[in-house]
Amino acid sequence: MARQRQITTTRLGRLTHFGRLAGGLISGAVTEGTRQIVSGRRPSIGDVVLTPANARRMTQKLSEMRGAAMKVGQLLSMDNGQLISPEFSEILSRLRDDAHHMPLGQVAEVLGAAWGENWDDQFERFVFTPLAAASIGQVHEAVLNDGRRVAVKVQYPGIRDSIDSDIDNVAGLLRMFKLLPAESDIDSLMDEAKIQLHLEADYLREAGALKQFRQKVAGDDRYATPEVLDDLTTHDVLTMSYLDGMPIEWLEDRAEDERNLAAGSLLELCLREIFEWGLVQTDPNFANYRYQPKSGTIELMDFGATRVYTTEQQASMRNLLQACVDGSGIDVADAAVAVGYLNGNDTPGYRDSIIKLLTTAIEPVRSREDYDFGKSDLASRMSDIVLDMRLKKRVGQMPPVSILFLHRKIGGLYLLLSRLKSRLPVRELVSYADIVPA
């Protein structure tokens, strides 16, 4: 159930939250460590920190704070979720379903600052209980005086100014409690998190990305995007036309033909984003897709995490895909160097693991028959390969962050296609996009 919570807006206030969280984790760890020692066991730091009680403490505090404190987990889990321990991954995953939202008064303050004192005069109705609450902002339904139904995305106050300090504090907690493998260097990830979050916190930039996508899919009845209302959009508030489709998961119980048709549209969209447009919406949250049963239209929303890829990056990724489908191990390794997975001086073990991971990920494209995502164990096999690299071979090296965002995109798509129990001629669809031969 959604809960109201005043968002802490000052750096000092948020630092105090982190201090209390650290203190609570230490107290819980000491209690658990003492209990295990008395029982005759010698616990590890993970055993005493990642207890159910500490998991609740961390989930509760990060959920209250919102902002960058929650977003870091997405970056940490982008290489198939195994840079962090399964226990910590579970803690972070709970945050997606444990949202606090701003109380009415704080929402009114943000809107007053964006639109002026009498902002509500332009609305016939404004629903203060949000449709959704996420890490940076929350979305409200409203009706303008002219009868138009709109969605209003309201950023939490103080979030933009707290990004850098929040991420530094989260990184400090991760290091203090050894929640990451010792050989992992997360500095580049944390730096990228700061850049990405500053971009996502600029709703004018998101509005621009939304307009670009709207132009890209114009005339294609398979897709729809909201229309930006420029006169009601600022850095902190994004107002769009309202899309009222069903959640994409609604398709699960529909006929196979309908599920496969929608799944094929989702896959083709992903291919066009990466290889044709170089404009990729990298947030794979299922809530970012909705479905209109009467028309079969897929509604696209939330473009804060949109990333641009250069023609050179697109070409190197296309070459890698072609090598993974029809090339030799040497071909894959050479293409992987161009993308950034390898640097040419890697150990044979790491190089072989990367080749295995990449060729496994491309399994649906290699198949000359319809690929059954619903029965595939592809995700677990990829997870096993990454686990072997991270935990057994103790490899902390990671691909460029820009590629990790594509992992996030494609991994989320695979999960959705699996959820829809899709059977698709993936190689045929990819060949239509002129990426690999049929």
- Summarised one tens digit per residue, pLDDT across range 337-391 is 999 888 878 888 888 888 998 999 999 999 999 999 999 988 888 877 876 776 5
What does the radius of gyration of the chain's CA atoms come to, in whole angstroms?
23
Strands 289-292 and 246-247: antiparallel
pLDDT recorded at residue 75: 59
pLDDT recorded at residue 134: 76
Q: Cβ(373)–Cβ(418) under 8 Å?
A: yes
Q: Cβ(72)–Cβ(18) under 8 Å?
A: no
Tokens standing for residue 392: 């057994």
* pLDDT single digits (tens) 387-409: 677 655 555 566 777 888 888 88
pLDDT recorded at residue 29: 44
Asked if pLDDT for residue 107 goes beyond 60, the answer is yes
Any idea which of 151-160, 307-316, 382-391, 403-412 has the lowest mean pLDDT? 382-391
Confidence of residue 168 (pLDDT cuts 50, 70, 90): confident
Region 169-187 average pLDDT:
65
Q: Cβ(78)–Cβ(403) under 8 Å?
A: no
Sheet holding 246-247, edge to edge: 223-224, 297-300, 289-292, 246-247
pLDDT recorded at residue 220: 95
Tokens standing for residue 85: 């321990």
Give catalytic residues, as residue numbers: 283
Confidence of residue 172 (pLDDT cuts 50, 70, 90): confident
pLDDT recorded at residue 386: 74
Contacts of 348 (CB under 8 A, 6+ apart): none
Most distant pair of Cα atoms in the chain: their distance: 72
Residues for the chain: how many in total?
Answer: 438
- The alpha carbon of 320 is separated from its chain's Cα centroid by a whole number of angstroms, namely 23
pLDDT recorded at residue 185: 59
Confidence of residue 135 (pLDDT cuts 50, 70, 90): confident
Asked if pLDDT for residue 269 goes beyond 60, the answer is yes
Asked if pLDDT for residue 184 goes beyond 70, the answer is no
> 3.20.20, 1.25.40, 3.30.200, 1.10.287: which CATH number matches 103-155+202-242?
3.30.200
d(CA 50, CA 55): 6
| pLDDT top residue among 428 and 241 | 241
User: In whole numbers, what is the pLDDT of the chain averaged over residues?
Assistant: 80
Secondary element (H or E) of residue 297: strand 297-300
Tell me how far apart the terminal alpha carbons of the chain are, to the nearest angstrom: 49
Residue 298: strand pairing partners: 223, 291
User: Three-state SS for 363?
Assistant: helix
Q: Per-domain residue ranges for the chain?
A: 3-99+168-185, 103-155+202-242, 245-438
Q: Name the most confidently modeled range: 50-59, 157-166, 220-229.
A: 220-229
Nearest to 406 by CA among 43, 80, 117, 183: 80
Percent of the chain surpassing pLDDT 70: 70
Residue 306: strand pairing partners: 281
State the pTM of this model.
0.81
Total Cβ atoms within 10 A of residue 50: 23
Region 318-333 average pLDDT:
92
